[in-house]
């Protein structure tokens, strides 16, 4: 019973984590798309080839405002390019992290489903069998059945007691399984 509760708790936790990571991944993809759109916008604005700043001997007092504007634009372009590179790197790392976490989580879910299906199959096999379902086969079957019949003529043999205990445990498991399924 505690194993079933433990498995169901783990399954709920993994389901919650899956939903959370999927939402985070979707948000990251949306941010990446937004960053790429913004990058394309900045590229289209800066589609001109900047001319190098003039030499001090070529400066014209009337052209100093244009030089300042050009210098500020070049500086802003460098900063934007740096920010874009940093954002791309972070986005790539984030995508890799989310992908690995999703793969790990999917593996955990797959393992959990396999365990649950094996447990369910085992309970299904044990459910409809009458009694304990245990039979002794082989060359020593007669010896085993006869040896435990009675111990010194005093009460039941140890095999019969073990059989009764096994049947009682099977009945309890069957009832718990019925409660869990119902």
- Residue 106 shares a structural domain with residue 80: yes
- Residue 143 shares a structural domain with residue 164: yes
**Angle separating helix axes 158-181 and 64-126, nearest 10 degrees:** 140
**What's the pLDDT at 54?**
58
Domain that holds residue 137: 131-182
Distance CA 11, CA 5 (A): 10
Both structure tokens of 8: 């169901």
- Residue 96 shares a structural domain with residue 167: no
Listed as own residue / partner, the contacts of 58-62 with beta carbons closer than 8 Å and 24 or more positions apart are none
**What's the pLDDT at 130?**
47
pTM, to two decimals = 0.32
Domain count, the chain: 2
Distance CA 5, CA 98 (A): 29
Query: Residue 55: which pLDDT band, with cuts at 50, 70 and 90?
Result: low
How many CA within 13 A on the CB side of residue 76? 11
Distance CA 73, CA 46 (A): 9
For 110-164, the pLDDT digits (tens) are 999 888 888 888 877 776 554 445 555 665 655 555 655 444 445 567 788 888 8
For 5-50, the pLDDT digits (tens) are 888 999 999 999 999 999 999 999 999 999 999 988 888 777 654 5
- Residue 43 shares a structural domain with residue 120: yes
- Residue 182 shares a structural domain with residue 94: no
Query: Residue 85: which pLDDT band, with cuts at 50, 70 and 90?
Result: very high
Distance CA 83, CA 50 (A): 20
- Residue 86 shares a structural domain with residue 38: yes
- Residue 75 shares a structural domain with residue 17: yes
Can you say how many angstroms the Cα of residue 73 is from the centroid of all Cα atoms in its chain? 46
**CA angle at residue 79 from 88 to 54, to 5 degrees?**
140
Q: Which of 83, 109, 126 is the last residue of a domain?
A: 126
Residue 139 is classified by DSSP as T
- Residue 150 shares a structural domain with residue 79: no
- Residue 167 shares a structural domain with residue 98: no
Mean pLDDT throughout 72-93? Answer: 92
The CA distances from residue 61 to 54, 57, 64, 70, 138, in Å, are 12, 11, 6, 15, 111
């Amino acid at each position: 019973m505690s194993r079933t509760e433990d498995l169901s708790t783990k399954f709920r936790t993994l389901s919650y984590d899956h939903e959370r990571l999927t939402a985070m991944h979707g948000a990251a993809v949306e941010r990446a798309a937004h960053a790429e759109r913004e990058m394309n916008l900045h590229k289209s604005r800066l589609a001109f080839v900047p001319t190098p700043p003039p030499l001090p001997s070529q400066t014209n007092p009337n052209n100093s405002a244009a030089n300042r504007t050009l210098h500020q634009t070049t500086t802003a372009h460098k900063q934007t390019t740096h920010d874009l590179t940093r954002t791309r790197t972070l986005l790539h790392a984030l995508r890799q992290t989310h992908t690995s976490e999703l793969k790990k989580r999917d593996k955990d879910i797959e393992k959990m489903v396999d365990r649950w299906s094996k447990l369910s199959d085992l309970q299904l096999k044990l459910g409809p069998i009458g009694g304990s379902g245990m039979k002794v086969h082989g060359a020593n079957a007669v010896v085993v059945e006869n040896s435990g019949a009675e111990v010194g003529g005093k009460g039941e043999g140890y095999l019969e007691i073990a059989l009764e205990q096994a049947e009682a445990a099977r009945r309890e498991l069957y009832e718990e399984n019925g409660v869990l399924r119902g």
